[in-house]
Amino acid sequence: MPTPTFMISRYYSSEQNDLEEGLLKKCAEHITLGSKRSASQDLSFSLQQLVEIALRAATSPAINDPYTRKHCN
């Protein structure tokens, strides 16, 4: 989870000047941080949810749910 000191990106340039202020603002407009994953921003999260639902439907209720252990740790 991102923290105030967690790096999400790194930019390198051969130019003397760092990022121009305008470009930096444009980049910041496209970054959204949150405490939970969302289906609209993360396709792999949506696919993982579909797999989880399919596995739960396919397994017997007597079999331990493989995702319960994953989410409870």
Full pLDDT tens readout for the chain, 73 residues: 556 677 777 777 777 666 677 777 888 888 777 777 777 778 888 888 888 888 877 776 666 666 665 655 5
- Is residue 11 included in any domain, yes or no? no
- Is residue 25 included in any domain, yes or no? no
Query: What are the b/e assignments for 32-62, b being 16+ CB within 10 Å?
Result: eeeeeeeeeeeeeeeeeeeeeeeeeeeeeee
- Is residue 22 included in any domain, yes or no? no
CA 25 – CA 31 distance, rounded (Å): 10
Q: Is the pTM of this model over 0.85?
A: no
- Is residue 50 included in any domain, yes or no? yes
What's the structural domain count of the chain?
Answer: 1
- Is residue 48 included in any domain, yes or no? yes
Q: Which domain covers residue 58, as residue numbers?
A: 35-72
- Is residue 30 included in any domain, yes or no? no
